């Protein structure tokens, strides 16, 4: 059972998500706006937050930024808009997924389950090892990446994607395989989500972003 915080100013949306989540055996706490969500998170812990972007007083981006100051909780953002800017801004804040309204509650729950399973500390897929490529060091056990001995910060999904690419280094990975293995569900939306994460990942890796090679018409490969 997961404990889920649903933040949306539309009562019908909160009720719909709660109905499906409770049916699957999860506990749901509701917040009607960002300020209430921040207050709740200060006193309670959650496995995941489903957070609407367009809300009065405090939008979803600002709410996520405030919560991230004191807690690291996986976040799925909801939006009535599907603009690339909104997605990029959300991913830069460290959200784990982005869902455009109207959405399928069943698909949303699939995403919730996949994200929580992959972010669980009990995940045995992460190898207990540290490897280096020139000045780039990857600590799988500690989930840490260093550039020239300086720790760099990435979003949770960037870490997932980067570790996956490194563990499969030298292998040509199709877009479909990357999305299925990293996101953990059958991808229904915009394929540009993967490209956006690759772009952000390359930016985080600075000069070592060159190791992520684009295979035109196929996908990507981590190559040193």
Q: Are residues 99 and 151 in the same domain?
A: no
Q: Is residue 124 part of a domain?
A: no
pLDDT of residue 181: 85
Global pTM reads: 0.62
- Domain end, chosen from 119, 139, 173, is at 119
CB-CB contact of 152 with 163 (8 Å): no
* Count of structural domains, the chain: 2
pLDDT of residue 185: 58
SS3 (DSSP) at 14: helix
- Domain end, chosen from 65, 100, 119, is at 119
CATH number for position 70: 3.40.50.2300
CA nearest to 137, candidates 111, 163, 115? 163
- Domain end, chosen from 119, 153, 174, is at 119
Q: Residue 36: which domain range? A: 3-119
Q: What is the mean pLDDT of the chain?
A: 87
Among 98-102, 120-124, 197-201, the minimum mean pLDDT is found in: 120-124
Q: Are residues 56 and 96 in the same domain?
A: yes
Q: How deeply is 95 buried, as exposed, middle or buried, from its count of CB atoms within 10 A (0-12, 13-18, 19+)?
A: buried
Q: Are residues 112 and 140 in the same domain?
A: no
Q: Are residues 140 and 217 in the same domain?
A: yes
CA nearest to 77, candidates 40, 49, 58? 49
CATH number for position 191: 1.10.10.10
Q: Are residues 114 and 135 in the same domain?
A: no
Residue 117 has pLDDT above 90, yes or no: no
What are the pLDDT digits (tens) for 121-177? 544 444 457 888 889 999 887 888 999 989 998 888 889 899 999 999 999 999 888
What are the pLDDT digits (tens) for 48-80? 999 999 998 899 999 999 998 888 889 999 988
pLDDT of residue 127: 44
CA distance 97 to 176: 17
CB-CB contact of 54 with 60 (8 Å): yes
């Amino acid at each position: 059972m997961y404990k889920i915080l649903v933040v949306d100013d539309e009562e019908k949306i909160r009720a719909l998500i709660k109905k499906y989540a409770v049916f699957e055996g999860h506990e749901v706490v509701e917040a009607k706006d960002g300020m209430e969500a921040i207050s709740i998170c200060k006193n309670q812990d959650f496995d995941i937050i489903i957070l609407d972007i367009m809300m009065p007083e405090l939008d979803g981006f600002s709410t996520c930024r405030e919560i991230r100051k004191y807690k690291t909780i996986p976040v799925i953002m909801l939006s009535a808009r599907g603009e690339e800017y909104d997605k990029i801004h959300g991913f830069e804040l460290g959200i784990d997924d982005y869902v455009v309204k109207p959405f399928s509650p069943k698909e949303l729950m699939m995403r919730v389950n996949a994200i929580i399973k992959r972010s669980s500390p009990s995940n045995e897929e992460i190898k207990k090892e540290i490897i280096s490529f020139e000045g780039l060091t990857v600590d799988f056990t500690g989930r840490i990446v260093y550039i020239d001995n300086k720790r760099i910060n990435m979003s949770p999904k960037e870490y997932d994607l980067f570790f996956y690419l490194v563990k499969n280094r030298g292998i040509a990975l199709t877009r479909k395989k990357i999305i299925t293995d990293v996101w953990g569900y059958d991808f229904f939306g915009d394929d540009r989500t993967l490209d956006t994460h690759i772009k952000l990942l390359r930016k985080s890796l600075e000069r070592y972003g060159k190791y992520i090679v684009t295979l035109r018409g196929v996908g990507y490969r981590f190559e040193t």
